[in-house]
């Protein structure tokens, strides 16, 4: 029996370094969109390109010639593409021209659309394009049987992450009563012991309904939960990946230090790609949320840490729900919240690169607020306690607000929690504030898997 186009598309993603980035049109659909992923000959699929890939990785920018990476890409894709052609041609009737385009979207692409791979099969009359369009530009819809001679263009259907919204409800400074009710309920329900966050699970890869409910219940009250699994020091990376997927976390952030599957192996590393970055050392890490240097479209809303091997000593994490931090600051002075929500409150300078990357800007300057409200009304926080390579908005109220926040973070409260992950344990959260203490290696090197998501935990 012939493989379905859907299964072959998944093989296509697995055959390339774009693993886990295949997204069906059903996740991009909007009102009036005529494409459906069940109708392959009029469907649109995307391969979400890792964030640290640039157009120069694919093409020589000056001459437009294929790079070695592109040649390897084509070699690995070709046999899968042939199967895809055969599947698309099945049941369509002779004489019908078919098109199927796969797009690898990337925010830094300068070209309007750069073709990665194209193949035509005359016998079936179908063709396939793999393309890299620039972010914000239009994408061609794939023509169905009745539209093969008339292409349509549509803007990108859905941003990678939830856009910001004007403060409303409890986060509106003009509505102190709504804030007071939300605050009182929030503080009353917030855990004051690490034990309150713990959920025992048999296998994180296959959670029971009761285990899912228990994790989600803790995340609703605290934006985080700690699972205690029975997988021990099993290094299988599908453990965090499958756990996250069961809780609505799918869109991984492929940051510079991540592995090819977009899950980062946090361990001491001294190679050129990781040297100079504190997470890959044994040094302590101060209060922060993950991805504070990302663009607004790629903010991190979900975070998962899974322990394979703890350190011989140290490596503990302090935790604080960012919604509690908001309450503590607002209770000091509501005007502090006003300036911490300014779009240029906190700026992370560009990363110019060094060593092998010297002269190449690895990351542009990025400004943004500390606190923001998502379109779904949930609070998001973007923060780092770093003393260098950070620029705060230079006005007295902002500097006073930042000083207040730093003081509150370093002042113990009932809601400041601390603990250390053991083998098979993990933290899943809506990117809450956290730290890491200095650690000492033992016979087995410390290994923590980190998965960053553009999604928030479902149902929280």
| φ, ψ (nearest 5 deg) of residue 201 | -130, 150
**Tell me: the pLDDT tens digits for 288-298?**
999 999 999 99
b/e sequence 309-320, b meaning 16+ C-beta within 10 Å: bbbeebbbbbbb
pLDDT at 97 over 50: no
Q: What is the mean pLDDT of residues 235-252?
A: 96
If 0-12 CB within 10 Å is exposed, 13-18 middle and 19+ buried, where does residue 292 land?
Answer: buried
* DSSP letter for each residue of 369-414: -SEEEETTS-EEE--B--SSS-EE--SHHHHHHHHHHHHHHTS--T
Higher pLDDT, 274 or 445: 445
Residue of higher predicted confidence among 409 and 126: 409
pLDDT-based confidence at residue 273 (cuts at 50, 70, 90) = confident
Q: Is the separation of the CB atoms in 316 and 178 below 8 Å? A: no
Tens of pLDDT, residue by residue over 141-160, are 322 223 323 333 333 334 45
What's the pLDDT at 81? Answer: 52
Mean pLDDT of the chain: 75
Lookup: tokens for 2 = 């012939």
Q: Who wins on pLDDT, 328 or 28?
A: 328
Please give the pLDDT value at position 393.
Answer: 96
Q: What is the pLDDT of residue 261?
A: 92
Domains and CATH numbers, the chain: 5-154 (no CATH), 164-453 (3.60.130.10)
- Of the chain, the percentage scoring pLDDT greater than 70 comes to 62
Q: Tell me phi and psi for residue 454, to 5 degrees.
A: -80, -10
Residue whose C-alpha is closest to residue 291's, from 428, 162, 451, 104: 451
pLDDT at residue 104, as a whole number? 40
CA distance 42 to 37: 8
| Residue range 336-362, pLDDT digits in tens | 999 999 999 999 999 876 654 555 677
Q: Whole-angstrom Cα distance, residue 218 to residue 122?
A: 56
pTM (2 d.p.): 0.67
Instruction: Kindly report, residue by residue over 428-443, the tens digit of the pLDDT.
Output: 999 999 999 999 999 9
């Amino acid at each position: 029996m012939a493989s379905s186009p859907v299964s072959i598309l998944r093989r296509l993603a697995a055959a390339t370094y774009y693993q886990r980035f295949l997204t069906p049109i059903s996740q991009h659909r909007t009102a009036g969109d005529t494409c459906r992923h069940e109708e392959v000959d009029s469907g649109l699929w995307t391969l979400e390109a890792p964030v640290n890939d640039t157009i120069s990785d694919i093409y020589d920018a000056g001459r437009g010639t294929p790079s070695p990476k592109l040649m390897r890409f084509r070699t690995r894709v070709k046999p899968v593409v042939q199967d895809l052609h055969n599947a698309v041609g099945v049941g369509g009737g002779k004489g019908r021209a078919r098109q199927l385009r796969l797009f690898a979207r990337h925010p830094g692409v300068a070209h309007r659309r750069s073709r990665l791979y194209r193949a035509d099969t005359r016998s079936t009359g179908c063709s396939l394009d793999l393309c890299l369009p620039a972010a914000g530009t239009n994408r061609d819809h794939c023509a169905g049987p009745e539209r093969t001679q008339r292409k349509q263009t549509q803007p990108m259907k859905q941003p990678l992450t939830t856009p910001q919204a004007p403060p409303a409800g409890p986060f509106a400074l003009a509505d102190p009563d709504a804030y007071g009710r939300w605050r009182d309920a929030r503080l009353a329900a917030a855990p004051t012991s690490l034990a309150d966050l713990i959920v025992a699970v048999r296998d994180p890869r296959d959670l029971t309904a009761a285990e899912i409910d228990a994790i989600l219940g803790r995340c609703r009250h605290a934006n985080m939960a700690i699972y205690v699994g029975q997988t021990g020091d099993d290094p299988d990376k599908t453990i965090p990946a499958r756990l996250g997927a069961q809780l609505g976390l799918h869109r991984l952030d492929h940051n510079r230090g991540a592995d090819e599957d977009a899950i980062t192996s946090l361990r001491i590393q001294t190679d050129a790609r990781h040297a100079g970055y504190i997470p890959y050392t044994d040094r302590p890490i101060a209060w922060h949320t993950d991805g504070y240097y990302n663009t607004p479209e790629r903010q991190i809303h979900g975070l998962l840490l899974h322990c394979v091997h703890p350190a011989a000593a140290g490596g503990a994490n302090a935790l604080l729900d960012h919604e509690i931090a908001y309450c503590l600051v607002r209770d000091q002075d509501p005007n502090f919240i006003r300036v911490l929500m300014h779009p240029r409150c906190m700026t992370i300078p560009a990363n110019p690169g060094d060593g092998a990357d010297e002269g190449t800007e690895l990351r542009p300057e990025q400004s943004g607020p500390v606190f923001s409200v998502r379109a779904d009304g949930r609070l998001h926080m973007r923060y780092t306690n770093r003393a260098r390579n950070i620029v705060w908005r230079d006005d007295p109220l902002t500097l006073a607000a930042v000083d207040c926040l730093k003081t509150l973070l370093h002042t113990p409260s009932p809601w400041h929690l601390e603990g250390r992950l053991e083998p098979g344990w993990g933290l899943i959260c809506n990117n809450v504030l956290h730290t890491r203490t200095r650690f000492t290696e033992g016979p087995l090197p410390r290994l923590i898997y980190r998965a960053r998501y553009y999604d928030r935990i479902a149902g929280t």
